[in-house]
Structure 1
Amino acid sequence: MAKCILLVRVSTDSKKQELSLREQESELFELALSKGYCEEDIIAICKQESALKRRYAKTSEEKDAIEIKQQGLQEMEDMIKNDSSINCVFAWEISRISRREKVLFDELEFLTDRKIQLIIAKPYIELLNSDGSLNPSSKMQFSMFAALADAEMRNKLDRFQRTKESRRKEGKYVGGWLPFGYMVEPSTKKIIINEEEAAIVKYMFNEYLKGGTSIYKLADELQERGIIDYDNRHSAFTFAYTILKNYAYAGLPSTVRQKGKKASTNLYPAIVTKEMVDKTIEMSEQAKTKPKTNVKNIYYCKSLLKCADCERVYVARLNKAVYQCTNDNGKCNNAEISINLADTILWNFAMTLKISQMLHQTEEDKAAYQVQIEVLKQKIEKINIDIENNNKAYSILNKRIIMQKITEEDGEAIEKELDTTKKELEKKLNDYTNKVAEIEQILFNMNTSIAFKHINIDDIADIEDDNLRYEIIHEMIDYCMIEKVADSIIKLELYAKHIDTAYTYYVTTRNRKIYNKDFRIEEAYTSNTTHLVDFKILQRYKRQGKANKEYQKQYYQKNREKLIKQNVEGKRRRKSKPEN
């Protein structure tokens, strides 16, 4: 007995569409009965899901595969392949099969190759003639309605994307994961800052940027204070890690995606600056190989020295008493530098900065900084109003385009003008926000930096404690670039935190002399001392070559018989090894 399939589909899961699904199935069932099929030979495939989910697929092949899977076409094909008695498929309309031309014609080919009739209820189309051949008129109708269905879907997607982009530009929530520190305002649907959570985010960035703590320690502190509550330490670490590495907190699209959650394209109000996120990422990368300061050997410059050639970090080599580039592939020919020379320069530089900082930590200085912040916040408030008005203009423009009150060409021209204005406003906003963050960081450093209240400013130069020196250096200095400028001449460019200007020193490695920024190469290894810097070279480490040789000698004498026996055994094994 011949069988048929009813292919029924609606695009959403609403109750209204559920009713439509039952209505389609009922009418197609009646149509199948009128074509002579018995009730028990009618197979219904009903699907109730949205084709818009295809927009998340990256390639057209992925989109086609998703559409087949979602709309039950694969189920229909499997039934036809496994049951030769099925000779007809009924569908409510062509768009209920698919809205993509390629998928529609693939299904057309699948059915016609097997001489299976396709009957469309609205408008009524019978694809095959009574002899099983393809009806040219029906194929023309099928092609025309397939093109209309495809165009309708493309227009629908365009409208959806245009509306979504307009909402996104207005700062409204458009779906996806919402990072910690933000919330959606119920009435306007805009993403706003959750002040309570934002205070925690600022604290995390400021605490981590001070140095001296790891992301794990920061997560532990948040757990201990009851700010977060996770079952295990790793989850708490993940929470802190995703915050400190997410550019969403600088007002940019999110760069972190939580496992199992949809990627977000939302725009978020800035809580910290881009420079702060850059620095936390850089520090976390350096911390992977950064040694602790409570060990026997404390290297002042650890994680601060960078190679000017390959931008790799320098590490200490104790046996040679030098800092050396970590590029082990042989491509970097940059010079190594004595630990004592590098430590001397960075300590004296950091000491000068620290003294200057302590001289400018009066209450009058703090008050002046607060006034600057208030002025900048007024400017930021005005710019935010201008940006909001600009976003409203986007929404109005989008509505006028949809209502066809202006042409798409005119709309694109106006949108370009709005984009230009918005970029200018956002640049100003970013500059002012960064300036506020910079001043707040200065105030934060004044209040929370290494206090040294037990040390007089005149006594800083007499500090000999290695841990204290290390803390001062890493508090004041951002990084130092190392560059070999000539044979046995090294250039050091030091960058202090919150200061854009580079400070330059030169070192001649053979006679271990240090020069200022005005040094010229031709002055090296001469009696000219015009640009010589009067730093007392720290004598912290010595080359261990002789000591190693002495140790090896003692070890050999102590283990002579054992080593000879191992050597003889090794020679015997090599001789007994068969030649290839």
Structure 2
Amino acid sequence: MIGIYVRVSTTEQAVSGYSLDHQIESCIQKAGTNEVMRYIDDGYSGEFLERPDLERMRKDVRDGLIDKVICYDPDRLARKLMNQLIIDEEFRRKGVEVIFVNGEYAASPEGRLFFSLRGAISEFEKAKIKERTMSGRKGKAKKGKIVKNDHVYGYDFDSVKSEMIINEKEAEVVKFIFDAFTSPTSKFQGMNGIAKHLTETGVPTKKGGAVWHRQVVRQILMNETYTGMKIQNRWNTEGLLANKYNRTGEDKVKITERPKDEWIYSPSPVIIEKEQFEHAQELLKQSRRRYTKKSENQYLLSGLLRCSSCGNTMTGRVQNNWGTKVRYYSDRKNTAGAKNQGCGVSVKSDEIEGHVWSNIEMLLNNPEKLIAFQEVAATTETFEEKELKRLEQEIERTKKGRKRLITLITLSEEDLDLNEIKDQIKDLQTKEKNLQNQYTELQKEMEAEKKKTTNLDILKQAMDLYFVYKDKEMPFEIKQRIIATLVKEIRVHDKDTMEIITF
């Protein structure tokens, strides 16, 4: 029985000469009979061997059902030369002749060479098409055009103009999500609460789904596109197509983030103001501490305290004092993998919580004093500034250590273990690179922080919430929400001295 194999990928379906009907007709004509077994892979890339009908044909060849295979062209069989040769050799071992409509390839050294050259050219053409496509997309993005429809919630995509257009109905939901997450008076408990509300009120997702998940809300809150700037060329997706054909799940290609200097920024219609977006990012950093599960012992300043000496965050703990449980905050880290075990600073929870809350009340009753707080913070060396100095010193020490080792190799007449010294140099190079990356990232964070301005609307919202409960017994959750809204960090110098850093 003669088997004919035809294939067309999704991108080739409109290309002249590669339509399935044309290939089938040509193969049948070559066979000289209509009595053929047809193997058709519609919409499958020739880059991989894992294709349903190709696998079926290979099995039929192994089982002896097929004695001849006709294919329109070698690149229909496979795009890669190696894969072409694998299939050709596999079929020939079974005595099955492989015939191509578009060219004769005799079973001779010359014919095999021509077959190989033809496959190599096909593979080269595929690579060039891919390169031109990527280059064209980058050029288009640099001109401010949107090259791909990412189906961002809140927008529709105009494929003709390559532009994003606001979807008014979805944009209202986006605004609600940001307002509900950033407002101190919000009744929704974080991303889970927002997702639950959207599900219960029947708001459809971008794909028309009925259920909203916390992660979807998080992705919306983190998407800078809403501020008027869409990032393109951020993710490297090369090789991801292989995952579609990877049945074992092993060695799957992972999406990776390109270096920031390769990102391309294109304008998009504004839905969320930059100031509110930045505030949402700050709250996202705190989200784990703002909406953690309630425990037997509640800590008003959870996640906000940091030891000014060692830089460790201070966590709430309980110890027994002659039968009485006492809550306190400590910078000690008991985990084996902790970079810094802490310097042993601890403060009683009741004392520091009372002190911080009295300061917050003073600010809310006298908002003009917030300026004084910010001025003091501006003249105080921050933990980040101290960390920059430390990193500078570490980088300099690493450079000197590497130079000493190089000098040792050059000048020493002793019998040295050069391989060991070279390994030490490599380790120092790696350490220096990691330190430099940390230094650069910290610098960027500090620059971004300097550009931020005080959000008076947030202060007003916190004040409104405070005055609603001022003359009542204020719930713990309300106190915690007000503090988390106004306070960025609290630096503890010792049990009697602390510094409140406001937004």
Determine if the TM-score, normalized by the shorter chain, exceeds 0.5: yes
Q: Is the 8 A contact 1:5 1:43 kept in 2?
A: yes
**Which secondary structure does the structure 2 equivalent of 1:301 belong to?**
coil
Q: What do the CA deviations read for 1:281-320 (whole angstroms, capped 9, x no partner)?
A: 222211343649xx9x764423422456574452253712
Would the aligned equivalents of 2:4 and 2:24 in 1 still touch at CA under 8 Å?
yes
For 1:351 and 1:205, how far apart are their aligned partners in 2?
26
Percent of paired sites with the same residue: 18
CA contact (8 A) 2:77 2:84 kept: yes
Deviations 1:344-389 (A, max 9, x none): 431243234324426899xxxxxxxxxxxxxxxxxxxxxxxxxxxx
> Larger deviation: 231-240 or 154-163?
231-240
Specify the alignment match of 2:432 in structure 1.
Answer: none
Aligned position for 2:182: 209
Quick check: 1:302–1:315 contact (8 Å CA) kept in 2?
yes
Tell me by how many angstroms 1:241 deviates.
Answer: 3.7
Q: How far is 1:142 from its partner?
A: 0.4
- In structure 2, the residue matched to 1:10 is 8
- Give the alignment of 1:322-471 within 5 angstroms: 322-325=328-331, 327-329=333-335, 332-333=341-342, 334-357=344-367, 438=453, 441-446=455-460, 449-450=463-464, 467=476, 470=480
Structure 1 pair 209/315, CA: closer, same or farther in 2 (3 Å)? Answer: farther
Superposition deviation, residue 146 in structure 1: 0.8
Q: Please say if 1:78 is aligned against 2:59.
A: yes
Structure 1 SS opposite 2:98: strand
Residues 491 and 358 of structure 1: is their aligned pair in 2 closer, same or farther, counting only changes over 3 Å?
Answer: closer
Is the 2:199–2:212 contact (alpha carbons within 8 Å) kept by the matching residues of 1? Answer: no
Give the TM-score of the pair, scaled to structure 1: 0.54
Q: Is the CA contact 1:350–1:473 (under 8 Å) kept in the aligned structure 2?
A: yes
- How far apart in 1 are the matches of 2:466 and 2:289? 27
1:244, 1:280 within 8 Å by CA — same for their partners in 2? no
Going from structure 1 to structure 2, the CA distance change for 1:221 and 1:433 (only over 3 Å counts) comes to: farther
Q: Which of residues 89, 98, 121 in structure 1 aligns to 2:101?
A: 121
Which runs of no fewer than 5 residues in structure 2 stay unpaired?
A: 236-243, 245-253, 258-262, 320-324, 372-443
Following superposition, the deviation at residue 155 of structure 1 comes to 0.9
Q: Quick check: 1:243 aligned with 2:220?
A: yes
1:208 positional shift: 2.0
Q: 2: distance between equivalents of 1:199 and 1:31?
A: 61
Which residue of structure 2 lines up, in the alignment, with residue 477 of structure 1? 487
Give the CA deviation at 1:103: 0.9
Q: Distance in 2 between matches of 1:434 and 1:202?
A: 23
Counterpart AA for 2:81: E
Offset, 1:341: 3.0
How many correspondences in the alignment?
385
Please name the residue that 2:28 is paired with: 29
- SS in structure 1 at match of 2:161: coil
Partner of 2:111: 138
Residues 199 and 445 (structure 1), Cα distance of their counterparts in 2 relative to 1, 3 Å cut: farther
Amino acid of the residue matched to residue 500 of structure 2? Answer: L
Matched-pair contact (CA < 8 Å) for 2:466–2:482: no
Question: How many Å apart are 1:174 and its aligned residue?
Answer: 3.7
Structure 1, residues 31-72: CA drift from partner, whole Å, max 9, x if none? Answer: 222xxxx653x3222333252xx8xxxxxxxxx5xx222374
Distance, in Å, in 1 between the alignment partners of 2:302 and 2:147 is: 44
Whether the aligned pair in 2 keeps the contact of 1:315 and 1:323 (CA below 8 Å) is yes
Distance verdict in 2 for CA 1:310–1:431, change over 3 Å: closer
CA shift digits 1:127-157 (9 cap, x unpaired): x2xxxxxx11101110111111011111111
TM-score with structure 2 setting the length: 0.62
* SS at structure 2 position matched to 1:450: helix
The answer as to whether partners of 1:173 and 1:190 remain within 8 angstroms in 2 is: yes
Q: Is the 8 A contact 1:87 1:116 kept in 2?
A: yes
Partner of 2:112, secondary structure, is helix
Residue in structure 1 matched with residue 194 of structure 2 by the alignment: 218
CA distance in 1, matches of 2:3, 2:129: 29
The one-character-per-residue Cα deviations of 1:197-242 (angstroms, maximum 9, x if unpaired) are 4454344334323446412333455567776699999636555344
Letter in 2 for 1:70: R
SS in 1 for 2:49: helix
Q: 1:194–1:44: structure 2 CA closer, same or farther, 3 Å change rule?
A: closer
Unaligned runs of 5+ in 1: 55-63, 129-134, 362-426, 498-580
CA distance in 2 between partners of 1:178 and 1:150 (Å) = 32
Partner of 1:182: 155
* Secondary structure class of the residue paired with 2:102: coil
Give the alignment's Cα RMSD to 1 decimal.
4.6
